[in-house]
Chains A and B, each alone.
Chain A
Amino acid sequence: MTTPLLNVSSISKRFGGVTAIDDLSISLLAGDRLGLVGPNGAGKTAFVNCVTGFYTLSGGAIHFDGADISTLPLHKRGRLGLARTFQNIRLFKRMTVAENVACALRDYADRPFLSMLRFGGGADFVKAARDLLERVRLADKADQLAGSLPYGEARRLEIARALATRPKLLLLDEPTAGMNEQETQELLADLRRNADLIPSMIVIEHDIAFIREISTRVVAMDYGRKIAEGSADEVFSHPQVVEAYLGAGEADV
């Protein structure tokens, strides 16, 4: 039996009296593309925050790539190969599009001051950043300020920035939020085209068609708990999932 890439075992996250995540266990094998669904407030983003280190756990443990990362600070989790995007886009707005990607490149990651030994932006930094920008169709905007990008492009830049860290696991938090049907299809194509840089992935999404297309496996959450797990068909026909999305059937009232 192979050990999972990510093993989240009965974690919980409480804010005062509010429980955002309640005894949640999820595991993921290398190569998995996990879709995470559930109504607003189900704890999906809190889960991503717990895994990537933005939240400290109230209980439970998280193992990633064989190491216990439960209490590791943000930057160590990033270096181990976790990268994410944000539901409310968080780009470095006053830096250029290319700089947003270039700053995240792995070179000198552990010894930032060694990069001072070289003068200039560095041709290889520029090339690596351009390559990534071409992969997400942003190469022609490379020298614009990131803050000037329209919504859809800002989302793609966030993905490129995450990919610049060469992640083992990419976590996307509602990548198609606010996108129209065409943009959603283009993003799907982007993710497929760049599959070579995305060894494993967790996607939070409300767009069920998108989840069906992208995921190998789906987990549904509600009230901070896992309520269903399996293939997309299994999960989306699960009575508890239907109830969570549509409310209790009138027959029950």
Chain B
Amino acid sequence: MSQDLLFLTGINILMAWSVYIILLSGSLSFANGGFMALGAYAAGVFTMKWGMNFYAALALAGVGAGIVGALLAYPALRTRGVYLILVTIGLSFIIQTLIQNTDYVGGVRGMTGMMGTTNWHVWGLIAIVGAGLYWLSRSHLQRQLDAVREDERVAASLGFDVVYLKIVCFAAGACLAAIAGGLYSHYMVFINPDHFNIFVSIYVVLYVVLGGVNNLWGPVVGASIMTILPELVRGLASFRPLVFGAVIIVLLLVRPNGLLAMRLRTLKADRERSA
């Protein structure tokens, strides 16, 4: 596997997890391509124009996008289901348009010169985030998030602050997408607003849905397959969208709940049987 494909796969896994983290609280976000753009540009500005250290730039871009995500989530999460999806699609368009019209970052012409990301950075971050998500999957918090996802109102009546949980998840997802964006821009050297159009957001959601939404491995499998499979038919460049589409249809027919559909349990109550 080429370095570039390894890198792209890694970025897509991180992006898929950023959607998964938001989905933990039951919201489906089509805004993560937008948050990725925010991170890509912000980190680029921090390192190139402000001369900031690469890691500090990534961290600041992530925190900044997290704050933006939380501020956007508060009004956005007043909507539910399909309406929330439309709001997040709107966010994606707004972010892209804002960047296109900001001359400071090059507008539609894009920005160039960012460097420094290696595959070690990407896969190191995957190890860290994966460990965190595994830790979460065995925690009391995961149980509460699962309850929120099954029945928000009942979960709230048990005392869970559902809005707070959703906002934090949304912010965390935005943060991860932005850091992935920062890594992306410092590997690609050149970026323009078109790299982060609505299709990026849609593809990333597809990775999660196809891989499975109920455990942290689903997004990894979905992102890997959907990144690597189309590359295998590289010779037939014009057929890549066709392969992508065919894989989606086949997977949804064969495994409608995703490839890895099972939910991981947060506890085993029967000690005898589990021992």
Q: Say if the beta carbon of A92 comes within 8 Å of chain B.
A: yes
With A75-B160, A93-B150, A95-B147 already in contact, the answer to whether A143 and B141 are too (CB < 8 A) is no
> Is the CB of A206 closer than 8 A to any CB of chain B?
no
Chain B nearest CB: distance from A148 CB in Å? 14
Q: Is the CB of B159 within 8 A of A109?
A: yes
Q: Give the interface SS of chain B, mostly helix, strand, loop or mixed.
A: helix
Q: Does A222 contact B (CB under 8 A)?
A: no
Q: How far is it, in angstroms, between the C-alpha of A99 and the C-alpha of B146 when the chains are bound? A: 10
Which of B159, B164, B270 has the most A CB atoms < 10 Å from its CB? B159
Which of B136, B140, B156, B160 contacts A102, CB < 8 Å? B140
Q: Interface size for chain A: under 10, 10 to 19, 20 to 34, or 35 or more residues?
A: 35 or more
- The answer to whether B165 touches A112, judged by C-beta atoms less than 8 angstroms apart, is yes
Q: Which residue of B lies closest to A79 (CB)?
A: B159
In the complex, how many angstroms separate the beta carbon of B21 from the nearest chain A beta carbon? 13
Among residues of B, the one whose C-beta sits closest to the C-beta of A73 is B156
- Give the residues in chain A near B135, CB-CB below 8 Å: 116, 119
CB <8 Å contact, B136 and A116? yes
Q: 8 Å CB contacts to B: which residues of A45-76?
A: 52-54, 73-75
A217 CB-CB contact with B under 8 Å: no
B265 is an interface residue with CB less than 8 A from chain A: yes
Given A102-B266, A121-B268, A122-B140, also A161-B150 (CB < 8 A): no
A27 interface residue (CB < 8 Å to B):
no
Q: Quick one: CB contact mask for A159-180 with B, threshold 8 Å, 1 for yes?
A: 0010011000000000000000
A28 touches B (CB below 8 Å): no
Closest to B274 in A: A143
Against B, the Cβ 8 Å flags (1 = close, 0 = not) of A92-123 are 11111111101111111100110110111110
Do A54 and B157 touch (CB < 8 A)?
yes
CB distance from B76 to the nearest CB of A (A): 18
Cβ of A142 under 8 Å from chain B: yes
